[in-house]
Amino acid sequence: MSGRPLKFRIHGMEVELEVSTTSDASEVRLDGVHTLVRAEPLADHLYRVFIGGEGHLVRYVRHGDARFIQVDGEAFQIDVIEDGAAAAAGESGAAGGELRSPMPGKVVKVMVRAGDMVEVNQVLVIVEAMKMENEVRAPGAGRVKAVHVEQGAPVDGGQLLVELAPAEKDSP
């Protein structure tokens, strides 16, 4: 059984994922590279995933339209790319949109202010959750439109942290 390819962006990188499932394992093709994967559910949205014999704890969180995945304690926002939007967004390398908390926790550091220019993968906010620090990074170059949290503030999973606007190419 062949899965349908899914294109998404994580930390500013565009990737394509296709999953084919059998009764005991899945074959994953990530950007054309095939790997056998086995996942054991541990709790709701929490899995131990074995890739090449190595186990990883993986948690998936969805809050509204925002999607997050935490792998061995490191959290990533995942943006699913719609058909036609992939090329425009991926080629520009520009940030735009909303960055949300990967899970409930506490803001331990805010690294930007409204109006700041940011580069791809720049750390914007650090959220502590389950005694681990999760860096929320810019998916591309842009300008901070608004910061919606302060250091020390509690946050819910999926809560809006920072709004970004794409970098203006022809600004003086």
pLDDT in tens, 89-142: 333 345 568 888 877 889 999 999 999 999 888 889 998 876 778 788 888 889
Domain ranges of the chain: 6-80, 87-166
The 10 Å Cβ neighbour count of residue 127 is 27
Q: Looking at the DSSP assignment, which residues form a beta bridge with residue 39?
A: 49
pLDDT digits (tens, 9 = 90+) for 62-84: 766 667 788 888 877 777 664 32
Q: Looking at the DSSP assignment, which residues form a beta bridge with residue 104?
A: none
The residue whose two tokens read 């949290």 is 149
Which range has the top average pLDDT, 3-12, 85-94, 102-111, 142-151?
142-151
The Cα–Cα gap between 28 and 55 comes to: 16
Q: Report the topology of domain 87-166.
A: OB fold (Dihydrolipoamide Acetyltransferase, E2P) (2.40.50)
Architecture in CATH for domain 6-80 = 2-Layer Sandwich (3.30)
User: Matching CATH topology for 6-80 and 87-166?
Assistant: no
